[in-house]
Structures are given as C-alpha cells and as structure tokens.
Amino acid sequence: MHDPRQLLDPETDAAAKLRRRGYVLDTDRLSKLMSRRSEVIGEGDQARAQSKKSAAEVQAAARAGDDITELREQARRLKVRIGELEEEQRAVEAELNEFLLAIPNIPLDELPDGATEEYAEEVRQWGSVPEFDFEPLDHVDLGERAGFLDLQRATKLSGPRFAVFKGPGAKLERALAAFFLDVHIAQGYTEFSLPALVTRQTMTGTGQLPKFEEDLFRTAVADRELFLIPTAEVPLVNLHAGEILNLGDLPLRYTAHTPCFRSEAGSYGRDTRGLIRQHEFSKVELVQLVDAESSRDALEEILVHAEEVLQKLGLAYRVIKLPAGDIGFSAQITYDIEVWLPSQQTYREISSASDTGVFQTRRAGIRGKAKDGKRGAVAALNASGLPVGRTLVALVEQYQQADGAIRIPDALVPYTGFAVINADGSTS
C-alpha cells in the first residue's frame, strides 16, 4: 500500500507513472480525503484538550462549592462531540484505506511503454529450440496416448480445467517438485510447508485483495472465511506480517511447494486445452525479503535462481522484461521466463520474477530496523520456481520422440527412477 503523501508529492510524479500502467490516479479525491482526515484529527485533538480543561473546571468549581450544572453539561457535550469526531475519523480513514488498497504499484522508469507482451523487451534466450523430423504432438495427445494424463476423468470429478495424473505421470509430477526444491535449497532458500487456506488479511497483505477477489476460491465454515491461496507467495511473505525485521538478518530466502487455486475469471476460451491454465495446480515458489535499497539487485538474483531449474532440465526458454502496462498489480518491475512449446511453435510464460519494492511489505506491516535502531524499509520479491504443470508440459513436448515416447532429462532421472516414458505408458 502506498504512502498517500508520496502519491501527492509532485517530485514523485506518481500520477504520470501510474498512467503508464493504465491507472488514472484520482488526486482530487485523495487530496480531499487527506485534508478531511487532517481536519478531523485536528478537531478531535482540540475537543480532547477542551474536555480536559472542562473536567478541571468542574473539579475546581465543585471544590469551591459553586453550581456545576452548566459546566457538567458542557463537559458532556464535549464528550459526545469527541465520540462523533472519532467515528468520523474512523470512517474517513476506512475510505482512505479502501482507496489506497486499490492503487497498483508504481512501475519503474526502466520499463518499456505498452500494455501487452508485444511491447516487452527480450533480455536473453537460452538453449536450442528443438527441431523434429516429424510433426510434434502437444502434451495432451502425448499424455493421453501413453495413459498418464486423464482430463476426461478429471472433468467428471471436478469439472473443466482440472487434471488427473496416473502412474509415470504422477511420479513425474512429484519428481519435478522434489527436484525444484532441492535446487533452491542448494541456492540458499529455506523450505516451508504452509497452509493452503489463509485469511482475508493475509490475502490483502500481498495485494490479491481487494483487487482480485473474483479470481479467488473462498470457503466459509462456521462463519469463518478463508481463501485458497493462488500462490505460495501469499503465505510466505505474510509469515512476517506485522513484524519488525533486523536489516542485518536480511536477505531472507524462502521456498515452498504448495497447491495453487485460481478461478481464472474472464479467461474462458483461452488455453482451454490441457494443462496451461488450470483451476488447481502445484507450484514451487521463491520469495525474498531484502533491504529495500538492494531489491533491484535481488531481482536479478531470484531470476537467475528460477532460470537454473530450466537450465538443469535442458529446456529452451527466453527472458523478457514486461512493459509498464503488463506487470502485475503488486509489481514495480517484472521479468517473465517463457519456455518453448513445440506444439505451439512459440514461447509461453512459465515463470514471473517480480520486485514489489515496499508495496507488499507496507500492506503487510513488515518493517525494518538497523543495528543502530534507525528505521529501514524491507522489500519483497517473488518468482515461480517453477509451476509443476507447465514445466511438465514443456518437458513432455520438448523431449518427445518420433514413436511417442518421452525422454526424461538426466538431472531428473534420480527423482523419477526411469529415463523414458514409452508410448504405451511403460517406463524404462
């Protein structure tokens, strides 16, 4: 969440920067809310001072034996007025808070202009795009033919956009998650096992609420509202909600493998075939909490950490820097990692690495303190490291053979226990 004073400071040029991402900041409304809050606070302070003075006058008059009827009535009216002003202050602050929570993060100046991926800047490519002397199949045809992917039964169980993995498919899914975690632990991340259900406050801390409520799955049991997480970023960042972190202990590097749940509201008709866009999927997430002054360097590091997984698997990919109008609500800069899909003859997003600056930490109440006691700012970063389903898609498609078999990358064989999924579903 933003500091409203900075949003109104001409030197920050926040309104112009937010326009780059398609958001129009209502500075008039913000100014009026800030002014009204200041006025109400001032009136309240004045009324409390008068009430204190009035109480002293009542006591003095009572000791002197004077009639205190009028003085008591004056004191009563002041107390009523104080209550009214406190209620008005709460109302104004609630309106201001609601207004601020809906404002996205301010994009960094280095981002290109534009609102879609076509305006993104390509940073680098890695690996060789596979070439086949046969017509490559997509992951659905390969998985269903070998019998390790069953979308029809998943639809019977839960409706569209769910998947059932069987035999070597289930083993491959589990192996990928274990492999990802081992890579990231070696990079210096601490693994967590986390709840998949979190509170509204937790969702608000990382920016999923109130903006994206329609994209979330929610449950309520015995009047207790909880949300299914769309990413482990949510609980990982909020582990330290409301805390003051010692800047000398930073960076904190966290990782977790969790299920993720997204309603994909408004996306029907897009990627309806296969595993690209599912309501439920599993993902290994990377989160860093760092001194805000070093967040830009930390983004380059977390990006490389996510890339290392793809490199160890030998999957061709590219990195792009998203334009200002295409970054996520909480991000101030985002790199996308896009993996090559032979069936589509294009790169598709498999990971986003974002620096949110102090946007999420302010919302979650995460503060920093140096050894000398001075206040400091903490920044939060996140990256997918990686989604299991989309990685499986890329692996199956890039490593498919002419006979329909799928070769397993060498780095993954110790986790699967097999080197090939044959076209008939057997392994070897």
Residue 349 falls in the annotated catalytic set: yes
Q: Are 245 and 365 in contact (CB under 8 A)?
A: no
* d(C-alpha 40, C-alpha 36), whole Å: 6
Contact 271, 239 (CB under 8 A): no
pLDDT tens figures, 244-255: 999 999 999 999
Does residue 99 surpass a pLDDT of 90? yes
The answer to whether residue 72 is catalytic is: no
Catalytic residue among 21, 301, 390, 397: 390
d(CA 243, CA 249): 13
- 259 pLDDT exceeds 60? yes
Q: Looking at the chain, which residues constitute the CATH 1.10.287.40 domain(s)?
A: 26-102
At 285, is the pLDDT very low, low, confident or very high (cuts 50, 70, 90)?
A: very high
Distance CA 255, CA 191 (A): 5
Q: How confident is the model at residue 67 (pLDDT cuts 50, 70, 90)?
A: confident
pLDDT band at 38; cut points 50, 70, 90: very high
pLDDT at residue 268, as a whole number: 55
Binding residues for L-serine: 231-233, 262, 285, 382, 384
CA-to-CA distance for 285 and 156, rounded, in angstroms?
Answer: 30
3-state secondary structure of 181: helix
Extract the annotated binding site for ATP.
Answer: 262-264, 349-352
Q: CATH 3.30.930.10 spans which residues of the chain?
A: 117-421
**Residue 390 catalytic?**
yes
Output the known binding site.
231-233, 262-264, 285, 349-352, 382, 384
| Token pair for 146 | 């070998």
Are β-strands 367-369 and 375-376 bridged in parallel, bridged antiparallel, or unpaired?
Answer: antiparallel
Assign residue 223 a region: left if phi > 0, alpha if psi is -120 to 50, beta otherwise? Answer: left
CB burial class (10 A; 0-12, 13-18, 19+) of residue 320? buried
Residue in 144, 349, 407, 426 annotated catalytic: 349
Q: Taking residues 65-77, report their average pLDDT.
A: 89
Q: Please name the CATH architecture into which domain 26-102 falls.
A: Orthogonal Bundle (1.10)
pLDDT at residue 217 in the model: 96
What is the C-alpha to C-alpha distance for residues 21 and 19, in angstroms, rounded to an integer? 5
Catalytic residue among 51, 330, 352, 354: 352
- Residue 221's pLDDT is what? 86
* Strand residues in 277-377 grouped as ranges (E): 280-291, 317-321, 333-341, 346-355, 367-369, 375-376
Catalytic pick among 36, 72, 277, 407: 277
Q: Which of 262, 362, 363, 367 is catalytic?
A: 262
Q: How far is CA 371 from the centre of its chain?
A: 30
**CATH number, domain 117-421:** 3.30.930.10
Give the DSSP H/E element, type plus range, for residue 246.
Answer: strand 244-246
Q: What is the DSSP string of 210-242?
A: TTTGGGS-EEEETTEEEEE-SSTHHHHHHTTTT
Backbone CA torsion sign across 85, 86, 87, 91: positive
Edge to edge, the sheet with strand 367-369 lists: 244-246, 367-369, 375-376
Q: How many residues does the chain have?
A: 428
- CB distance 114 to 324 below 8 Å: yes
Give the pLDDT score at 69. 87
Catalytic site includes residue 29? no
Task: Note the pLDDT of residue 273.
Answer: 83
* Overall average pLDDT of the 149-173 stretch: 96
Residue 128 catalytic? no
For residues 350 and 348, what is the distance between their CA atoms, to the nearest angstrom?
A: 6
Mean pLDDT of 152-169: 96
Q: Specify the pTM.
A: 0.93
DSSP state of 411: G
Within 245-331, residue ranges assigned H as helices are 295-313
